[in-house]
Structure 1
């Protein structure tokens, strides 16, 4: 252990080697920006590695967005992958990405960052072993699904209560009467696992959800949407609602509440299995929990069920545990970041992945990382242009909703529409004179990484 601080000069620190951190590393490496990369786990992959302590991933999890609309820029998923790849395939793909671009060599594995604090115009990064380093910038890429949120209900429960982050295998449900609380995409997946494996499966919901099957006309739903023209929401919404009424019918028939919001105003359920189990009575819908009493769960409609396991699929609190909240403007549990990325108060504190978006995140990470890298490059090579961007960070507050009136909740305060986000990002690049991503842009990195791999 040491108390001295190493001055890393003009280097950048990246915290986290999941998809966002790897995207940032590739962007910095392309522009020749020196960086150090820290990962607390023993390998890359972030939440997609089931061996990563605290990951919310489970054995049956698949990508919500489809193969052709997802993935890193200019690095498509293999054609042999299914329309919706499994978590094991996504992990393999992510690790191949790191290997292809030679990103692993710069990562210090089993090396957690315990604290980041201001040190004049730089940032002091302290590691778990006590060593500290000073950097000109820090990219926080540690994700938003590491602090489980569980509600508190009155009464005492004699069975088992857990958060869905602890769930791994459908075998855990065998012989049990299971209640899944919450019907986001993970909650719906887990409820389906319970339907197929538990003695009885129930799901408790407080509001209705719009459901979009993963395939429409035999084509992945998001791929079908991306093929068409960029229609405004006022046109797209009624078209999609009419199509869903024809394909799915009235979902309240199966006990699901009628949604209290319009389509697209919250992330829809991308699930086809759920309707199958509801139609066959293998999942029963219940309202919110009123109280717990021994082995009974009482609901707000006066009903009650004997339950062995209550599993809260109730989301996560956002946090950056290695940075004091004073360095961010936190609002409703979300950091106020320009373009959901750049800290408005603290220069060169960058949050990559701190957003909710209605389309593939991987490609979005790459587009944002490209801007991050060019901004950091300009600080040393075109300081006047970097100063112009500093002013944008401080004052520009664009509407990234795409005309969608997202639900008024803490979760949706950070929601952005993917098409609106990418359009505005393109406008910023044009204004700043920065380059857009282009096919072949990273070929030199691939070639270099391949040569290094052959030489070793």
Structure 2
């Protein structure tokens, strides 16, 4: 197993629960992946909080502490992950400060080459390298000020007294624009399109808890109810200078941020259209407006790259040929956990991916007929995981799945093959 972030940890628990022997590599000095703000190359920043609420975000059988706030900060998430690893005896099994340099097929096995030149052989591999380490950078031709990606950002002090343009409508970009509003001389946020804004709380309850109560409805019905409700709840954001959404709810990621609208309404942040051109320190936007900026921060996302085995996974923007985003359809014994883009919190999806991977590897290690039957499923099953939604065609949404459809299919597969989640086994302690 490669990687000891959230996906790697929950995969390790699933393997351990089945008594499977495994070797676990982690290039950094501790568990937690991107949530460790001290790890080299992490995109974590001081004000970062979970986008999904703690109520729906814990791993099965090990819920987040009740004294955590609705939306825990990055230090609390890291503490949760380390507690999870210690509780399940995972930490002592991890080979820290051990980077994988190369992964290659070797007949019926897998050859792992470590950074120190050591080569080891395995019958199967689970790849969990994380999805926010390789920044997707774009140029700003003609601009002569400072350009940096959000992966380099840590705190609002970096913007003190400067004129800042944040580029990107993702949740981290919105967070950073709000941070900059406290210290910068002027702040703008550039978005090429309009987005749906979803408040983090509705009637005092986390919005994903409220929204979950309607997930039994067909997606079209749920959307028909939610869109007018959001317009009533949030108001007309075009009055503030944002573009109206050019898509229906759920077709691309929404903005889960209460503070951005607050800062825009108070004049602390100025919404801008997409960038048309730049000349020196002046940037002109597609609506013809222009302004001078000292720094442009690109909150333009990340590639889901696998630098030690990219040729095995195809497109670095999002791995292709993965059944259920977990099983290579071209390379037997190559599995992954964590490569999933969806419209919900990720941890419970990672949990389900992990226990299906562990169930398959358990059967495979015994050469059972069940493993052969599942391998046929890997080759032939191509389920519709969209719930009828027409997702955006942007690179970020390649491989995008609807959470409800994904969970339903994973649970159906688990039930068919008898692969119960580790946290659902008898005697598992609930936190």
TM-score normalised to structure 1 length: 0.91
SS at match of 2:358: helix
Moved more, 293-302 or 73-82: 293-302
Q: CA deviation at 1:417?
A: 1.2
Partner residue, 1:330: 315
Q: CA deviation at 1:152?
A: 1.9
Taking the TM superposition and a 5 Å limit, the aligned residue runs for 1:256-271 are 256-271=242-257
**CA distance in structure 2 between the partners assigned to 1:242 and 1:295 by the alignment:** 41
Partner residue, 1:3: none
Asked if 1:402 corresponds to 2:387, the answer is: yes
Q: CA deviation at 1:434?
A: 3.0
Q: CA deviation at 1:233?
A: 1.2
Cα contact 1:27–1:369 (8 A) shared by 2:
yes
Q: What are the superposed Cα offsets for residues 32-64 of structure 1, whole Å, 9 maximum, x if unpaired?
A: 100000101000000000011111110000000
Instruction: Please give the root-mean-square deviation of Cα atoms over the aligned residues, in Å.
Output: 1.7
Cα contact 2:273–2:286 (8 A) shared by 1:
yes
Partner residue, 1:141: 128
SS at match of 2:398: helix
Q: What are the superposed Cα offsets for residues 371-413 of structure 1, whole Å, 9 maximum, x if unpaired?
A: 1111001012352110111111111100011221111222112
Asked if 1:182 corresponds to 2:168, the answer is: yes
Aligned match for 1:290, one of 266, 276, 279: 276
Partner residue, 1:299: 285
Asked if 1:165 corresponds to 2:151, the answer is: yes
Partner residue, 1:351: 336
SS at match of 1:243: helix
Cα contact 2:177–2:269 (8 A) shared by 1:
yes
Partner residue, 1:6: none
Partner residue, 2:260: 274
Seen in structure 2, the aligned counterparts of structure 1 residues 274 and 175 have a Cα distance that, compared at 3 Å, is same
**CA distance in structure 1 between the partners assigned to 2:270 and 2:176 by the alignment:** 14
Aligned match for 1:42, one of 14, 29, 39: 29
**CA distance in structure 2 between the partners assigned to 1:360 and 1:229 by the alignment:** 14
**CA distance in structure 2 between the partners assigned to 1:302 and 1:221 by the alignment:** 36
Moved more, 224-233 or 261-270: 224-233
Q: CA deviation at 1:355?
A: 1.1
**CA distance in structure 2 between the partners assigned to 1:412 and 1:289 by the alignment:** 22
Cα contact 2:101–2:308 (8 A) shared by 1:
yes
Partner residue, 1:454: none
- Would you say how many aligned residue pairs link Structure 1 and Structure 2? 431
Q: Which runs of 5+ in 2 are unaligned?
A: none
**CA distance in structure 2 between the partners assigned to 1:442 and 1:282 by the alignment:** 52
Q: What are the superposed Cα offsets for residues 324-344 of structure 1, whole Å, 9 maximum, x if unpaired?
A: 41x234386432210011000
Partner residue, 1:393: 378
Aligned match for 1:84, one of 56, 61, 71: 71
Partner residue, 2:137: 150
Asked if 1:99 corresponds to 2:86, the answer is: yes
Taking the TM superposition and a 5 Å limit, the aligned residue runs for 1:186-201 are 186-201=172-187
**CA distance in structure 2 between the partners assigned to 1:194 and 1:103 by the alignment:** 39
Q: CA deviation at 1:441?
A: 4.3
Q: CA deviation at 1:229?
A: 5.3
Q: Which runs of 5+ in 1 are unaligned?
A: 1-13, 448-456
Q: What are the superposed Cα offsets for residues 160-202 of structure 1, whole Å, 9 maximum, x if unpaired?
A: 1100000001111110010000111111111111112211000
Q: What are the superposed Cα offsets for residues 195-223 of structure 1, whole Å, 9 maximum, x if unpaired?
A: 12211000111000000000001100001
**CA distance in structure 2 between the partners assigned to 1:260 and 1:228 by the alignment:** 24
Partner residue, 1:7: none
TM-score normalised to structure 2 length: 0.97
Seen in structure 2, the aligned counterparts of structure 1 residues 108 and 257 have a Cα distance that, compared at 3 Å, is same
Aligned match for 2:233, one of 228, 244, 247: 247
**CA distance in structure 2 between the partners assigned to 1:36 and 1:130 by the alignment:** 17
Moved more, 286-295 or 368-377: 286-295
Q: What are the superposed Cα offsets for residues 265-311 of structure 1, whole Å, 9 maximum, x if unpaired?
A: 11111111011011111110111112222222222222221111100
Moved more, 294-303 or 216-225: 294-303
SS at match of 2:247: coil
**CA distance in structure 2 between the partners assigned to 1:185 and 1:249 by the alignment:** 19
Moved more, 282-291 or 206-215: 282-291
**CA distance in structure 1 between the partners assigned to 2:202 and 2:317 by the alignment:** 36
**CA distance in structure 1 between the partners assigned to 2:391 and 2:275 by the alignment:** 26
Seen in structure 2, the aligned counterparts of structure 1 residues 151 and 355 have a Cα distance that, compared at 3 Å, is same
**CA distance in structure 1 between the partners assigned to 2:61 and 2:265 by the alignment:** 41
Q: Please identify runs of 4+ aligned residues in structure 1 that moved more than 4 A.
A: none
Cα contact 1:426–1:436 (8 A) shared by 2:
no
Q: CA deviation at 1:436?
A: 4.8
**CA distance in structure 1 between the partners assigned to 2:45 and 2:425 by the alignment:** 35
SS at match of 1:421: helix
